[in-house]
Amino acid sequence: MSHLVRDRRKLLNRIRRIRGQLDAIQRGLEEGAECSEIMHTVAACRGAISGLMGELLEAHVREDVSNPDHQPMSARARATQELIDIMKTYMR
């Protein structure tokens, strides 16, 4: 997974932000924050994790399965791009 090495800094920064959101949830629970505040933070954390997963899935498909940028007019490339687009829509 060479793409993970190449994008390591970017991915680690995303994970640090997610960890910060998780810490905020824990602090909110410990300090008795409003329920709606905690739920908003949980929703934001879920979105961040989904975004991370989407990015990892797309990179995996492009790097390890089939890169639609190579021979973009082939049926395989079109199917791969369709799969990536569907995954992006589903992960929203």
3-state secondary structure (DSSP) of residue 61: helix
CA distance 75 to 72: 8
Q: What is the pLDDT confidence band of residue 1, given thresholds at 50, 70 and 90?
A: low
Mean local confidence (pLDDT), 74-91 = 85
Query: Could you state, in order of their start, the residue ranges of all structural domains in the chain?
Result: 2-91
Amino acid present at 82: E
Q: Which fold has domain 2-91?
A: Methane Monooxygenase Hydroxylase; Chain G, domain 1 (1.20.58)
Q: What is the pLDDT of residue 57?
A: 87
Question: Tokens 């940028």 belong to which residue?
Answer: 69
Q: Which residue has the higher pLDDT, 44 or 1?
A: 44
Looking at the whole model, is its pTM more than 0.85?
Answer: no
**Residue 34: DSSP 8-state:** -
